[in-house]
Structures are given as C-alpha cells and as structure tokens.
Amino acid sequence: MSGRRSRSKQSTVSRITDDQIADLVSKLQQLIPELRRRRFDKVSSSKVLQETCNYIRSLHREVEDLSDRLSQLLASTDSDSDQAAIIRSLLM
C-alpha cells in the first residue's frame, strides 16, 4: 500500500518538475558557446548535459593553464603593488 502511494507521489513530482527541468536545460544551453548558436534547433537534454560537462572540463583546463602561466609570469615581476593597483583600476 505504501509502495503504491509513493509511486503515485513520484509521478506527480515528475509531472511538475519535467517542465522545470526542460526550462533549466534550455537555460544551460544558452551558456554553452557550442550550443548557443543552435538555439532554435532541437537539442536533446542529454546532448546539452554532455556539452556542459565538456565545457566545464575545458574551463577547468583553462584555469590550470592560466595558473601555470601566472606562476611563470609572477617570477619575473618586481613592484607588484604598483602593478596590482593598475590592474585593479583597469578591471573595475
């Protein structure tokens, strides 16, 4: 009896959140450069998630590469406080 109850509860939950999930997936699609151009094509949710994973991995790799680059660049600079102030003012 409790199994039947929980099953119907689950189907109600899935009816409510199916649209939510589709909405969230389309929001993700806008953020991924690969898929942004294909906005009006039908891209499956699993493809969006797949591309999301690839995109996140590439972003992680970029952070690592930039950290590596910065570690080499920092070595060759003196007066960091001046440069830091300049950089900060340029970024704001």
Partner 1 sequence: MDLQTSNPNSLKSRFATRFLRALNQINARKPISSSSSPGEIFQRYRRIKVAADMSMAYSVRSRRTWSRATLWRLRTRSRRRRLASLGRRSSVKTRTTTAASHLAAVVVEKTSHGKENKEDDGGGVGVEAEELRELVPGGESMDLCNLLDETAHYIKCLTTQVQVMRTIANLYSLE
Cβ-based nearer residue to partner 1, 11 or 40: 11
Number of H helices, E strands in the chain: 4, 0
Distance CA 46, CA 13 (A): 20
DSSP state of 41: S
Residue 39 or 70 with smaller CB distance to partner 1? 70
Q: How far is the CB of 40 from partner 1 (least distance, A)?
A: 19
Q: Please, which residues have CB within 8 angstroms of residue 52's CB and are 6 or more apart in sequence? A: 28, 32
Contacts to partner 1 by CB under 8 A: 10-11, 13-14, 17-18, 20-22, 24-25, 27-28, 31-32, 44-46, 49-50, 52-53, 55-57, 59-60, 62-64, 66-71, 73-77, 80-81, 83-84, 86-88, 90-92
